[in-house]
Structure 1
Amino acid sequence: MAEAVVSVAVQRIADLLIQESVFLHGMHDEVERLQAELKRMQCLLKEADRRQDQDERVRNWVTEIRDLSYDAEDVIDAFLLKVARVRGEGVRGFIKRVSFKFTKAFHLHEIGTQISSIRAKIGDISTSMQTYGVKLVEGEGPSYGNEKQQRYRRSFPHAEEGFLISLDAAISDLKAQLMMKEERMRVVSIVGMGGLGKMTLARKVYNVTKVKQHFNCYSWIFISQQFSIKDVLVGILINVASSEGKSEFEGMNEEELVIALHSRLEEKRYLVVLDDIWTTEALDCLKPAFPKGKKGSKVLFTTRNRIVASHADPWSSPVEPPFLTDDESWELLNRKTFPRDIHMENGCTAEFEKLGREMVKKCRGLPIAIVVLGGLLATKKSLKEWEVVHGSINTQFVKWEQHHQCGGVYGILALSYHDLPFHLKPCFLYLSQFPEDWEFHKRELIPMWMAEGFILQSSMGEGEDTMEDKGEEYLEELISRCMVQVSQRDHTGIGVKTCRIHDLVRGMCISKARTENFLGVIQYTEDAAANSSSFTLQLTSSNKWRRIAIHPRITGKGGSKSKFCVPSLKNGDSHLRSLFYFIEHGMLDVVRQKLGGGFEYGSSGYYMRRQQLKFIFENFRLLRVLKIDYIYHYYIPMELGI
């Protein structure tokens, strides 16, 4: 994420150097030096982002660089705002231009002092890294997650799985594809978000006797993000050539191992399972080792990325395990929570079931979340203890995460976030603005990404590609990585119209966004106190959020829904880039109808007072996005959009 922040700052400085060079007399070199310094940091931040979970010193360094990049962006944007004000037309614009001539030297001195300070702080960070022995080498290779996490997630074909629920249709589909006799070697994929049950499904089918008898040889290999091609090839060879020892293969290089495996599979009908493939590059490295083989040979793999699946075999339809229904979720929770010989009929009273069903809805059909919740509830023996968990289920998940870092729900889901390329991380964290169960429109989201500067000019292709086209590519990639779910397709049945994110992915997204000071969600009962007289929200915790989303019912249970509040922070909001207001989901259709027929003052919904909107524009001058749709207001400053 820090790399993305620096990239945006570098882009803003480039804009300043290109567009406003006439105003930078005497400061051009200083600004260029800051840009060069940030670029050097950017080269190392990719590796630092990967290592910050393992080294507190690196984590602190990344935080400092991120905050300095924010500061640099603020300095540049504030100067661009001053320059923009002198470009008005007419008498008013002439007066501003004349006035700026007299104050220009002061503004240049001010920006120069700020830039020098930022450069000095960057230099201090570099020096402290050397002093404390923090070394980062660009290109060291991926290191997502530590060794302990990799050991925890490693899969084995023989591991017992006692909590299979609602996989009958997926099992039948997968068995049919594996046992199909074709002339070509088919690559079959199982696709889905983390924790959906991909490995469970693959293991279930792999261990079916009839399936194994269909093949002359078979092998199960765990891949994950960190893997050695040589170790994978040796592992498969040991499984398919049981008469030969491991020592015979360990002396071979990769090319020799590919040839050896290819020759041993060439005359056999084989099944090779590659569990947890993350990239197309990983598949391409292994593909040469798999020949056509005898009629009906198969390679089966699991992945979180649909692009990997289509790349592997465009003619094969991926199998996707379904989310569990409410009844199936409760059945799984009941099996996991109570001993096998005491299921719901004997060991679970109606009160336990009522609480359990309510809690399991928070898991939204995601098996891994239900299993973790079941493990948590299995330690709670009384109804009162269940009620405590029920009252703070999200907090309980976080506590579980702290004590089970490898098996926590958010930890498993966060692996997908860490795997995102740097330009997609801010795009994903931006989704934390949306309330629970909210469907967001593609046509609304992409312009906000553009306004924020997340679609970098360096990523634009040649020809007729527009920023909107690139934004659609970004969204499609998030969808292909199972980070975002498609809710509605457009009139073609192919394009995306609306999307949503799974509630637990949203929880992880909100947590990451808060940690990065990227975006904060204000909910009255947790984060802010409303002043009924001034209609302002005073945050109770100190922060430097760059974006704030205000969710419905911000005035509390006893307040009127029509009251509207604006954030009023102790330290000011000069750094604020986006401010979002949402109304209750159930009110959307009502408000749309009223807007269509003429929205009247005092109608059901929120309305914004003139002084409130004026306060926003006067105090949040660096805003790039203000979301106030479906909220009644009757004052828009003439400066907006100029």
Structure 2
Amino acid sequence: MVEAAISVLTEKLISLLSEEATATLLRDIHEEVADIKDELESIQSFLKDEDARAAAEDMSEGVKTWVKQVKEVAFRMDVFMDEYLLEMAQHHPHRLQGFSGFLHKSARLISMLKPHHETATKIQKIKASVQKIKARSERYGFQSTGQGSSSGTRNVRWQDPRKDSLYLEDTDVVGIESSRNELIGWLVEGQPHRIVISVVGMGGLGKTTLAKKIYDHQMVRIHFECYAWISVSQSYNIQDLLRSIIKQFRDAREELPMPGIDTMDEQSLVSKLRDYLRLKTYVVIFDDVWRIDFWEGIKHALLDNNKGGRIMITTRNREVASFCKKSSHVHVFELQPLTPDEAWELFCKRAFQFEFGGHCPPILEKLSQDIVEKCKGLPLAIVAMGGLLSTKDKTVFEWQNLHDSVGFELGRNPHLTGVDKILSLSYEDLPCHLKSCLLYLGMYLEDYSISCIKLIRQWIAEGFVKELEGKTFEEVAQEYLIELIHRSLVQVSYVDISGKVRKCRLHDILREIMLRKMKDLSFCHFLSKQESRFEGLT
């Protein structure tokens, strides 16, 4: 997320350096500002790569410290820019029309304005800080892709809990019966033309579990001649996906491998698949699709042969399904969280599977209900919490300890690391400007229904919203919010009669993760009851 702050600053600096006013107001620091812009652009490139790697593996402690230092300098630079732009507005208001988006939050800084020579001194200090940080990164090898600091290495790769969902017994699964039956009906019934079924929901909601139970169901296996299960994820090679489809189709029909398949190019693979499927019924499930344009590489290979071909996609992004509508009939199934009763049943199965006959003892019932409530029907979180507590003594002390420190435990306890990683993937996949917007929602209280109008104005005031030709800042910010909703990161609380979203909220577990990221990135700090003061940046 730090590169998001750097990106905003770089845009400010570029705009600033293009202004005529710079030469007349602060001519002596123009060169220093240009140097800082160049340094920040270099740092931003590394931070963008580091953010992407952080989604798959833990960042080393050395890099974490360095990133924190970058954020602190970025914060000081942001304050300076607001002071400087306000000073320019006072001296040359007619030249700053393009800075209107950055001036929303400047009014509060009037009392902080310094004389000209003090401003020059401050910018020189910031420049020196940026140069020191860059030198430190080179000294410890942070600029080398995949490396951590010399004083520590990255942690081992985490174990993806989604793999477990591929091997769950029916008795281990709760609350999918009605969804499974409805989706199986969509697969085996209906019109003979090709149909795409998209199962949409936030990370950890059980999309993979549901899809795998459908794929393995006897009714599906009997109905289709060819079937394939393809795990897609964030990075994929379309040729490898096509090869896997062909191999699984032929295996399902107990046919010999296709000669030369491993050396075929994409066009040849598409042609082979089309010829193979021309007279066959087929079903393919693409699990965990992220890219909106994924369908472009698939639509021609899985042809519409009027034989009832079916394609199922699981995704966190509603726009993936919308993209498919360009060339195929699409059903969208929005997977819902577990009901309170289902959530409680799943928790007890995990927490007390080998004790108390699978039932919660009365002394732990209130705390257990509170822990389940925090999970808000998210199966991944319920399973993880229950699994962790199954290893603990069945005492009020142990249960209370987890209840009071869920956010902290998500970031450090190996039983809960998977939850943190799975939900963080959605955050890491965001463009930098949306990361800031999502983090900002974490400042609202747990279970708070947020006014969308108020939230949008706050994003604008903070400088998170980019100016876009032909649109107001409010319209651009509204698009940001809709994208976060479509990515299953923000939940809709209230929609008015016209269909416009008026209130929204964060899932409690996602909010806990955002709170920790906010603190790690110096984005914001929450004072707990035990903290009487906060030593912020100076």
The alignment's TM-score, normalised by the length of structure 1, stands at 0.72
The correspondence for 1:160, drawn from 155, 166, 169, is 169
Structure 1 partner of 2:362: 350
Choose from 505, 523, 527 the match for 1:522: 527
Q: 2:490 aligns with which of 481, 484, 488?
A: 484
Match of 1:274? Answer: 286
Q: 1:497 aligns with which of 489, 498, 502?
A: 502
Aligned to 1:68: 73
Which of residues 44, 50, 53 in structure 2 aligns to 1:51? Answer: 53
2:321 is the alignment partner of 1:316: no
CA distances 1:533-560 after superposition (whole Å, capped 9, x unpaired): xxxxx33xx344xxxxxxxxxxxxxxxx
Partner of 1:119: 127
Matched, 1:108 2:105: no
1:419 aligns with 2:429: yes
The superposition leaves residues 137-184 of structure 1 with CA deviations (integer Å, 9 ceiling, x where unpaired) of 79xxxxxx9993476544775553543222233122211211134242
Q: Counterparts in 2 of 1:330-341, with a 5 A limit?
A: 330-339=344-353
Aligned with residue 216 of structure 2, among 204, 207, 215: 207
Structure 2 contact 289–314 (Cα < 8 Å) conserved: yes
From the superposition, tell whether residues 317 and 70 of structure 1 become closer, same or farther in structure 2 (CA, over 3 Å). Answer: same
In the alignment, structure 1 residue 291 sits paired with structure 2 residue 297: no
- Show CA shifts across 1:278-322 (max 9, x none): 111333233332111342111111101111122123742311222
Q: Where does structure 1 lack aligned partners over 5 or more consecutive residues?
A: 89-103, 139-144, 529-537, 545-570, 572-642
Residues 1:254 and 1:137: Cα distance change in structure 2 (over 3 Å) = farther
Query: Offset of 1:19 from its aligned partner?
Result: 7.5
Partner of 1:612: none
Q: 1:25 aligns with which of 24, 27, 32?
A: 27
Deviation per residue, 1:443-497 (Å, 9 max, x gap) = 111111111110122xx1x33x1111100000000000111111111230x2111
1:406–1:504 Cα change, 3 Å: closer
How far off is 1:130 after superposition? 3.4
Secondary structure of residue in 1 paired with 2:405: helix
Matching residue's letter, 1:438: Y
Residue 148 (structure 1) aligned to one of 130, 153, 157: 157
Q: 1:434 offset after TM fit, Å? A: 0.7
Choose between structure 1 and 2: higher helix proportion.
2
Q: Distance in 2 between matches of 1:415 and 1:473?
A: 21
Per the TM alignment, residue 342 of structure 1 is displaced from its structure 2 partner at its CA by 5.6
C-alpha separation between the residues in 2 aligned to 1:261 and 1:405?
A: 42
2:142: which partner in 1? 134
SS in 2 for 1:287: coil
**Does 2:200 align with 1:188?**
no
Q: In the superposition, relative to structure 1, how do residues 285 and 117 fare at CA in structure 2: closer, same or farther (>3 Å)?
A: farther
**Structure 2 partner of 1:35:** 37
Label 1:123 to 1:237 Cα distance change in 2 as closer, same or farther (>3 A).
same
Contact 1:188 1:301 in 2 (8 A): yes
**CA offsets 1:235-275 (integer angstroms, 9 cap, x no match):** 21110022233884222233322322232223211111111
Deviation of 1:331 (Å):
0.8
Letter in 1 for 2:477: G
2:68 and 2:522 in contact (8 A); partners too: no
**2:232 matched residue in structure 1:** 223
Q: Within 2, Cα distance between the matches of 1:246 and 1:126? A: 53
Residue 175 (str. 1) matches residue 180 (str. 2): no
**Greater relative contact order (CA < 8 Å, ≥ 6 in sequence):** 2
Q: 1:429 aligned to 420, 425, 439, which one?
A: 439
Q: Summarize the Cα distance change of 1:128–1:246 in structure 2 as closer, same or farther, 3 Å threshold.
A: farther
How do 1:306-455 residues align onto structure 2 when only pairs under 5 Å count? Answer: 306-313=318-325, 315-339=329-353, 343-344=357-358, 348-382=360-394, 384=395, 386-396=396-406, 398-399=408-409, 401-404=411-414, 407-455=417-465
Q: Is the 8 A contact 2:32 2:123 kept in 1?
A: yes
User: Displacement, 1:362?
Assistant: 1.6
Q: Deviations over 1:486-518 (max 9, x none)?
A: 1111230x2111111111111111111111111
Which has the larger displacement, 498-507 or 176-185? Answer: 176-185
Provide closer, same or farther for how the CA distance between residues 350 and 41 of structure 1 changes in structure 2, counting only shifts above 3 A: closer
Displacement of 1:206 after TM fit? 1.2
User: Mean alpha-carbon deviation: is it higher for 364-373 or for 64-73?
Assistant: 64-73
Q: Is the 8 A contact 1:156 1:222 kept in 2?
A: no
1:65: Cα distance to partner?
A: 2.6
For residues 150 and 296 of structure 1, do their structure 2 counterparts lie closer, same or farther at Cα, with a shift above 3 Å needed? farther
**Partner Cα separation in structure 2 for residue 447 and residue 235 of structure 1:** 48
Q: What amino acid maps onto 1:207 in structure 2?
A: D
Match of 1:241 in 2: 250
SS in 2 for 1:497: strand
| 1:589-628 → structure 2 map (5 Å cutoff) | none
Whole-angstrom distance in 2 between the partners of 1:372 and 1:156: 13
**1:68-87 correspondence runs (5 A):** 68-83=73-88
Q: Does 1:466 align with 2:472?
A: yes
For 2:373 and 2:258, the matched residues in 1 are separated by 48
Output the amino acid matched with 2:205.
L
CA contact (8 A) 2:165 2:209 kept: no
Q: CA deviation at 1:391?
A: 4.4
Is the contact made by 1:401 and 1:409 (CA closer than 8 Å) also made in structure 2?
Answer: no
Identity across the alignment (%): 34
Quote the Cα distance in structure 2 between the aligned partners of 1:29 and 1:79: 15
SS in 1 for 2:169: coil
Gaps of 5+ in 2: 94-112, 147-153
- Residue type at the aligned position of 1:175: I
CA RMSD across the alignment: 2.9
Higher-Rg structure is: 1
Aligned length: 502
How far is 1:87 from its partner? Answer: 8.4
Please say if residues 484 and 501 of structure 1, whose CA atoms lie closer than 8 Å, have aligned partners that are also in contact.
yes
Structure 2 residue 16 is the aligned partner of structure 1 residue 12: no
Amino acid at match of 2:52: R
